[in-house]
Amino acid sequence: MGDRIEHDSMGEMRVPEEKYWGAQTQRSYQNFVIGTEKMPEEVIQAFVVLKASAAKANASLGKLDEARKNFILQVCEEIAAGKLEGNFPLAVWQTGSGTQSNMNVNEVIANRGNELAGEKLLHPNDTVNMSQSSNDTFPTAMHIAALLAIKTRLLPNLDTMIQTMKRLEEENQGIVKTGRTHLQDATPIAFSQEISGWRSMLEHARQMIVDSLSGLYELAIGGTAVGTGLNAPEGFADACAAEIAEMTGEPFMSAKNKFYALTSKDALVYAHGALKALAADMLKIANDIRFLASGPRCGLGEIFIPENEPGSSIMPGKVNPTQCESVTMVAVQVMGNDATIGFAASQGNFELNVFMPVIIYNFLQSVRLLSDSLRSFEENCVRGIRPNREKMEENLHRSLMLVTALNPYIGYENAAKTAKLAHQENISLKEACVRLGFLNEEEFDRVFHPEEMI
């Protein structure tokens, strides 16, 4: 297909005939050929919610007629349904305000709406962007996209993982194993207690994430260019936020201080910090699981995990903890994203942060990776964890730290002497204790019960 001529305030541009975008989108498409990262689909969908809500608010305030409102809503429905896929091509690495992506959405809605109307009813700036500025719409879309991604993708997968941990905890009641601190043998622990630690980490991380969402409910819409609300009619901010809340089912509201809402990105920093906490917990849990499953003969070998694929191109029969490795890579990526978001949020000058595309790109990548990783880890590893009871029993009774149970009877220093002798001579604690004359065999048997140490 050929091209058509579109124009903006800077002049004419040739645009592919089959695309609905206009001149400003085409300029950005040509001027920012940087990387492969495109504006996330979640941001485009958030803009759909915003543009539909703005049209409704403008109509309710007498600024927009019903015909134009309805064509905007019709195109928004098409975009939401994926019917205009391929019309949002812009790179993340564009203007730091996200202006060009805002205009990309405006132009697509205007051109497609005019096609439906059979006449030029809609203008990307005057109609679709009415009462708005990129400087308040892009941060508004960021908050909508971030919150919905967490609530619709991340939390459900996290909840499934928590439920699986609860099941494992119940199924492994009564199994006693050696605990470990500093990668060294420690006093006994129930396997169910160890699992409960993992479960509680995830529950606490979940609560932190939920608590962090409050700032995302505040929207910049209505602040327009610098926070003053220039060209937005009185009542627009609240009306638009109310429409967004209605469309999403979430209690979004207009931020009380628009100067803050345009220039500060601390709500996203705070929420991503909670995502980083989840990533840290996931990395720790994955490491615990792969160490406990290490072996099969020369490692700890205290649990069995599913064997999903061959682990080596040269060592026949080798199977690796690949799901654990995937989780840990996701975790470090999220931690890197957190650094990027923190640096980006600290930048920008005066009335506007101009690092917004990179902030939301990294934020949504973290949500997506954590969500998918939780699902994969639960389905392909965690739900299939089984205890190696024999190995746990063997390791438990070989642990020198069981000597801690003797402290009340022979004292700390004598217990230490007992452990050291047992280690040096490669004998049991019982043999060492009796040889040193601290207890006789009957006395030792009466007070030494590892299963009661948990």
Annotated catalytic residues are: 182, 312
Nearest to 154 by CA among 372, 323, 381: 372
Kind plus residue range of the DSSP H or E element containing 418: helix 412-425
Number of Cβ within a 10 Å radius of residue 82: 10
SS3 content of the chain, % helix, strand, coil (to 5): 60, 10, 30
Nearest to 208 by CA among 274, 294, 132, 291: 274
Q: What are phi and psi of 144, to 5 degrees?
A: -60, -50
User: Tokens at residue 154, please?
Assistant: 């991340």
Q: Determine the residue type at 257.
A: N
The DSSP call for residue 233 is P
Adjacent-strand bridge partners of 3: 16
CA distance linking residue 205 with residue 43, whole number of Å = 25
DSSP reduced 3-state for 106: helix
CA distance linking residue 120 with residue 414, whole number of Å = 93
Please count the CA atoms within 13 angstroms of the CA of 312 that sit on its side-chain side.
7
Q: Classify residue 376 as exposed, middle or buried by CB count within 10 Å of its CB (0-12, 13-18, 19+).
A: middle
Kind plus residue range of the DSSP H or E element containing 319: none
> Do residues 240 and 57 touch, judged by C-beta distance below 8 A?
yes
CA distance linking residue 236 with residue 221, whole number of Å = 9
Adjacent-strand bridge partners of 349: 352
Q: What are phi and psi of 350, to 5 degrees?
A: 60, -115
Nearest to 368 by CA among 109, 88, 157: 157
Q: Determine the residue type at 196.
A: S
Please count the CA atoms within 13 angstroms of the CA of 371 that sit on its side-chain side.
16
Adjacent-strand bridge partners of 48: none
